[in-house]
Amino acid sequence: MMNEIPEKLITAIKKSRYVVAFTGAGISAEAGIPTYRGEGGLWDKYDPNLYANIDYFLQDPSYYWNFFREVRYPLLKNAGPSQGHLALAEMEAGGNLKTVITQNIDGLHQVAGSSSVVELHGTTRIIFCMNCSQEYTMDKAFSLLMEEFPPRCSKCRGRLRPAVIFFGESLDPHVLRSAYEEAGKCDMLLVVGSSLVVYPAAEIPLVARQKGATLVIINKEKTGLDHEADFIIQGKAGDVLPQIIQSLRE
Ligand SMILES: [Zn+2]
């Protein structure tokens, strides 16, 4: 479906010096990554209290590693970036986008080619030893997991964990600070595929807004900040962003 991209939006993007994108589950859903929340989301099938809670993970990591082996790893192994991910990478390459701040943990922005990515909730693509901090790729962690369950560090036999923020953990203050810095610096914030309900999702666009940035929301559904937005385009990132790029070129 073709969306109407307002001419004013294209002009505003061209005029902006520092555009930042803020992405959520919607852009990854378009890449075939199931969302966590909402109907049919992963948390309907997998109780987050067992699979994603830090206290439970420390007590018994087998649920998480089972989830990693059966769901997370095969999903990411087979998923490629969506048209939306690719479009944001293209905007960065073309000088129209500085940074992506994302709530997603699948690393697909980097796979698409984005180089400046702030991952608020960490990444499943890095697994590290809780004892010696040795890092492993997903592939390596998967092979360790095939040898021993739950997997252990091949250097020190310490326990492994993914570099994601579990429920019950705070966001990394350095990561959070750079997200707020980017939001404070930008003169345009593009919200893409986030319904802006999960903390700090709703707050980061507001920081940008308070500093005078133009707020653009591209999402399939209404969001919690539509009333604050300068431009709202209801649609899929993979449809809307390529059209924006096309218009920027014309
Ligand atoms: Zn170790």
pLDDT tens across 222-250, in order? 998 999 999 999 999 999 999 999 999 88
Q: Residue 42 pLDDT more than 80? A: no
Cα(158) to ligand 1 centroid in Å equals: 5
Helices (H), the chain: 7-15, 25-29, 42-45, 48-51, 54-59, 62-67, 73-78, 83-93, 108-112, 138-147, 173-185, 203-210, 237-249
Domains and CATH numbers, the chain: 1-32+80-121+170-250 (3.40.50.1220), 34-78+122-164 (3.30.1600.10)
Active-site residue identified among 109, 121, 174, 227? 121
Backbone angles phi, psi at 243, to 5 degrees: -65, -35
Amino acid identity at 94: G
Per-residue pLDDT tens over the stretch 171-183: 999 999 999 999 9
Report the candidate in 139, 167, 148, 132 with the shortest Cα–Cα distance to residue 72.
Answer: 139
Q: Is 121 a catalytic residue?
A: yes
Q: Residue 1 pLDDT more than 60? A: no
Q: Residue 40 pLDDT more than 80? A: no
Ion ligand 1, residues whose Cβ is below 5 A away: 129, 131-132, 134, 153, 155-156, 158
CB 28 within 8 A of CB 193: yes
In DSSP terms, 118 is beta-bridged to 101
Backbone angles phi, psi at 116, to 5 degrees: -110, 100
Which DSSP string corresponds to 193-204? Answer: S--S-STTTTHH
Burial profile 184-202: b = 16 or more Cβ within 10 angstroms, e = fewer:
eebbbbbbbbbbbebebbb
Cα(155) to ligand 1 centroid in Å equals: 5
